[in-house]
Structure 1
C-alpha cells in the first residue's frame, strides 16, 4: 500500500492507495465507525461497487445504508444538494458520523459540500472510482456544486477524514472517462515537473490501455504532487494552489458553452484548456512555440481535445470570454490566468487583457 499524507495540522489525513482496496475497506473504515452506521453515497454508474462495499462492511460487522443519485454533471445542483441533505437528515446523521463518497468527481464534490454545511460540518470519506477523482478532485478539500452562472461557484473548503483509492476500480471505467482523468495527470507535469511530463509522453498510452504499474505510478505521483501543493496553500491564498487550475479558466468556459453536459467532460475541457493556455502563452512570446505544439501533440495522441475544433466549440471569442467573467478566481474586476514560460513552468498572470484573449480565440480554427 502507498500512503500519502496530506499535512494540514489538525485537519491532516492520509490518502491510501492499493489495488483491491475496496474489498479490504472495512479494515480502514472500522476505526471511524463509532458504533454508528456509515452512509454510502454513490451514483447509478457505480452502484454495483456500493453493493460490494456494503457487503464488505457487513461481513466485518459494520452497518451501512446507501443513497444512489443520478450520474452526470447535472447532479452537482441545488436540487440534488437539497435531496441529499434531506436524505442524510432522515437517516439521523450526526456530526461525528462519516458519509462515504463512492464515485467520481461529481459525487465527491457534492457529498463534500453537503457534509460541509450539514449541521455546520459532518465527516466524510472519499472513495474515488474514476481516474480524474483518484488523481485530483478527491484530495484537497475543494467541494462545490454548479449554478446557472458557472461551475463550482457555490462551495466550501472541507477536508475528508480519509481517502481510499483502489486503482482496480478503473478496470470498468469507459475509455473516454479514463482519457478525461488522464488530462489531470498530464497537468501535474505541465505545472512544475518536466520530468513527469516526459514520463507521460513515454507511458501515457500504456496507462490508458490498463497497464497496472503505469496506472499505480501515475496515481501515486499525482496525489503526492497535489498533497504537497495543498499543504503549502490549503485555501488558495498564496497563489501556489492556484497552479492546480492550469487549463481550467479556458476549460470551464468551454464546459459552460456546452451547458456542462456530456458533450464535453470536465477532463476534456481541462485538456483543451491546457493546450489553449500554452498556445496563448506562445502567441504572447512567453513560451516557446515548440512547447505549445508538444503539449497539443501529446493530448492529441492521448485521444483528448487539444483546441476548439477538437472540443467541438464553435462559439466566438467574445462569447467564451463572457463565460470566463463568472470564474470564481475573479479579483477586483480582473481574472488571473495560468500561463506558461515552458513545460513545467506554469505561473499566475494577473495582467491578462480579456479582449486579447477573445482575439486569440477568434483566430483559432473551428
Structure 2
C-alpha cells in the first residue's frame, strides 16, 4: 500500500484515500493543524484499504488517529463521510456537517430499503422509463431485496456547520460557506489566512485558500441531480442552487482551491466561469431538444453524456435521468419549458 500525502504548507496536508472500483480513484482528505489538535476535512470511503490508507496518511503528517480533534464533512456522500464513524470510534473526535445533509444521513440510516425502491420505481415510471428498465426494479421489490444505500455505517454528526460561521478551531481562521447544488447541505471551507507560498499565489495570497469539496473541481463537472427524499413534495431547483453557489465562490476569489478530487489549483474565478458556461450551453441544447415534446426519459437518452447511452450502465442511467430532471426543472423555472397538459407520462416542450 502506497500512501500519497502532500504538504500544502501552513499546517495543511492532503491524503489521497482510495475509492474502490471508481474512476475518480481517490478522495483528497485534508488535515488541518489547529492549536487543539488536527482536524480532518472529509474522511473517505468506508473500506478496509481506505481506512488503512487514511491511518497511514495521518501518521505521515506526524500524528496518530487518536490525536484527531474533529472532522468537518463537506457533504454526506459516502466517499466523503464514509469513514467518519471509524474516525470517531478511534479518536473521540466530533463530527460536523450542515443540517440539510445531516437530515439526509438520518433519513438514510432510518429508512426501510424497500421504500427507496418504491420511490425510484415511481420516479422512473413518471419519467417514461421503458418496461425493460423497470422490470429488474419490480423483481427486486417483489423479492424483498430492497435498495441498500451506501453510507449506513457513517456517523450521525454531533455538530452543525452554520453558513458564514467562523469555526471554533483555535489558532485558525476557517469560515463555512454554504454551497448547495451537489447536495442540499454542501459546504466549502474558506481558510482566511494569507497563502504560505506567495510566490505561487501572487497578490491574491491574502484571499486565502478554499477547501471546495466537490463544489469546484479543476477538470470535472460535479453531478447535479435531484435532492432525493421520498417525503419531499417541494419542487427543488438544485441546478439553480449550484449556479448561485458558484457565483458566490467566484466572488470570493481565493488564491488557491483545495478540492476533494484531482488536485489543488489556482484561478477559481476562471474555473467558475467555465462551469457556468458549461451549464448554460447544456440548458440551451436541452431547450433545442424540447422543440420536439419529450418525456424526461427521452430527454435523458437524447442528451450528451461522456459515452453513448447504450454504453451507460444500468444504475448510471438512473443518475443520468436525475441530472436531466435537474436541468429540466431549471428550464421550467426560467420559463423556457413547460409540461404538455394532460400528458402521461409527463411530456415537456420548449416555450
TM-score normalised according to structure 2 size: 0.35
Larger RCO: Structure 1 or Structure 2 (Cα < 8 Å, ≥ 6 residues apart)?
Answer: 1
Computing the radius of gyration from Cα coordinates, the structure with the larger value is 2
Higher helix share: 1
